[in-house]
Structure 1
């Protein structure tokens, strides 16, 4: 800590570092928020880094440095969406439920609530990726393959967890359970029932919970 200048108290190096880190994190949050808004409003192809930077109050160079361009931004937005609406990440809460909930039907209801929370955040971004990939963008086609595979691996993880608890009816293979989870968490199902048919997220989550229970649990 150096001497005071003009009578002002010295500022510690750690304080300055913390302030810079906080400012950088706030800048990142603004970029992600504005990116999400612009991408979903205007589409992937029509949204530019310049427009995102202007809306977030940062330079284009800082956006490229932080995210590597539009594909990196979309991936970051999607991954942020999967964390849920706040607090501990949704995947962490899901793992805790799978390890601690004692009633299989209550666990399916928990899964439905997670879907109702995460789908309104993540599904529109997945659909953005899908549509950009369909338009011929190779970066989005690669990202679509990545996020689909990552989601399937997560569903395999969930399937192994619930099978290990002995919650499901006999005779189910882990791949079949994973496929049912994969269907229930799909953006395409959300698109059909919520975006096209006007269901609320809560109704959608209850439907997913009932579908999982009917498909995977023993009768009674």
Structure 2
């Protein structure tokens, strides 16, 4: 082994560490991708950690170590879904829009676009959690409560930001605004219109934008 120069680690050691990190990240991506595919195809109860590990080309033990089992995997793919499809997390982009857009109607349209982007990723996983909870799984029941609470807190955050800019009807409280947003972004609505009625995500997003505008913006 080459000695350190001026107290620095040899370049080969740094390179090896980076390669290990990259390999671990690639493994994590494969596990999450296979988890999503298998959970959504077979359901929560019929999907095993062993099947996910085999499909991802990793050991079952490594999956347990990284995610703690099936509940951790479902939580991870849900959180991944909520990042959206862009290189920057959807919530960060939404925050930026809320503080920079100057036209209230355009802001509602932007909200609709974010919902159209995130819902096809997140709603099927939410519905997986809901159905597993309804079938009596206590871990999924706890996760369902957590994701509902997190989504409501996010809507409350949005409500406070937009109200502070003076865009919305003055008679609305932040809780009322958050409730409208919470209802409008529900996976159940996505399930009804997109999964059952065959709407496109884009059409769904446009409806959401009109719904938010009609219920939150002052009459023009």
- If the TM-score is normalised by the length of the shorter chain, which range does it land in? over 0.9
- Count of residue correspondences: 214
Is it true that 1:17 corresponds to 2:20 in the alignment? Answer: no
Structure 1 stretches of at least 4 aligned residues deviating more than 2 Å after TM superposition: none
Distance 2:184 2:83 in 1: 18
Partner of 2:184: 184
CA RMSD of aligned residues (A): 1.0
Partner of 1:7: none
Deviation at 1:86, TM superposition (A): 2.4
Within-5 A mapping of 1:66-77? 66-77=66-77
Query: Unaligned 5+ residue runs, structure 2?
Result: 4-9
Distance 1:184 1:22 in 2: 39
Deviation at 1:11, TM superposition (A): 5.5
Deviation at 1:184, TM superposition (A): 1.1
Q: Deviations over 1:10-57 (max 9, x none)?
A: 852110000000000000000000000000000000000000000000
Distance 1:37 1:49 in 2: 13
Partner of 2:115: 115
Partner of 2:57: 57
3-state SS in 1 of match to 2:146: helix
Distance 1:100 1:26 in 2: 35
Distance 1:181 1:87 in 2: 24
Is it true that 1:130 corresponds to 2:130 in the alignment? Answer: yes
Is it true that 1:28 corresponds to 2:39 in the alignment? Answer: no
Q: TM-score, normalised by structure 2?
A: 0.96
Partner of 2:173: 173
Query: Unaligned 5+ residue runs, structure 1?
Result: 4-9
Q: Deviations over 1:108-132 (max 9, x none)?
A: 0000000000000000000000000
Distance 2:98 2:210 in 1: 17
Distance 2:102 2:122 in 1: 29
Q: TM-score, normalised by structure 1?
A: 0.96
